Amino acid sequence: MSTSQNRRALVTGASSGIGAATVRRLRADGWDVVATARRADRLAALAEDTGAEVFAADLTQAADVTALVDYVEQTGGLDAVVNNAGGALGLDPVATSDVEQWRAMYEINVLGTLQVTQAVLPLLRARGGGDVVVVTSTAADGAYEGGAGYTGAKHAERMLATTLRWEIVDEPIRVIQIAPGAVATEEFSLVRFGGDAERAAAVYDGFEPLVADDIADAVSWTLSRPAHVNVDLLVVRPRAQASNTKTSRKASDV
């Protein structure tokens, strides 16, 4: 339970990668943090390492979201949410892609973000203002072959964030979107390619990608701006990556 006067944030997708790094960074910055994800064992380890509160939940399930937000409300309220939960599945052409993979990507990237954001807005309003951070992706910027399911989901998530920004502009709530490019985490590409470690590692061959701490740093920076400053969209790519389809594979040698 949060008993201090520190600002308090909810971070989703916190069991690994960007989410876990964001929990660590915000705790280092002095925030109280509620970390949520499906895997209770990983959350327990994160709590031990950081002192964060944890609450296991599947954000595609409305009942889990309700239970999570009830917990947050009853234990101290909320100043910010970092909607980070998401992911990619497969890299297949439209003609042969798996409909269930598309459905899963929309459920977690879009509908999960929607359900959490809807549920926490009253808590932010009760605080007199706050921050909604949405971690999308440069996949929202345009198409690439094999990526229609993921780019479509991330574009929808971007439209959610952008539209919310317009709709609540009269309120003291910031809507911040952070769009990472290539980020090498322990699970993102491995999950995308069904556990194929060799194929996952090849994504980052020949250049230095971002790491989870780079995006956690971006989250921290946007949240630390003065209250009148809204970072509408922050695109963060490796130096070697000019676009989704343009990467210098020799950059690590330069």
* 106 counts as catalytic: no
Nearest Cα to 222, choosing from 80, 23, 69? 80
- Catalytic hit among 71, 106, 150, 204: 150
Q: CB-based burial of residue 99 (10 Å sphere; 0-12 exposed, 13-18 middle, 19+ buried)?
A: exposed
What are the residues whose beta carbons fall under 8 Å from the beta carbon of 217, sequence distance 6 or more?
A: 25
Yes or no: say if 210 and 180 are a contact pair by the CB < 8 Å rule.
yes
DSSP 8-state assignment for residue 128: T
b/e string for 187-196 if b means 16 or more Cβ within 10 A? ebbbbbbeee
Identify any residues that bridge with 32 across adjacent strands, giving them in sequence order.
Answer: 8
Active site residues: 150
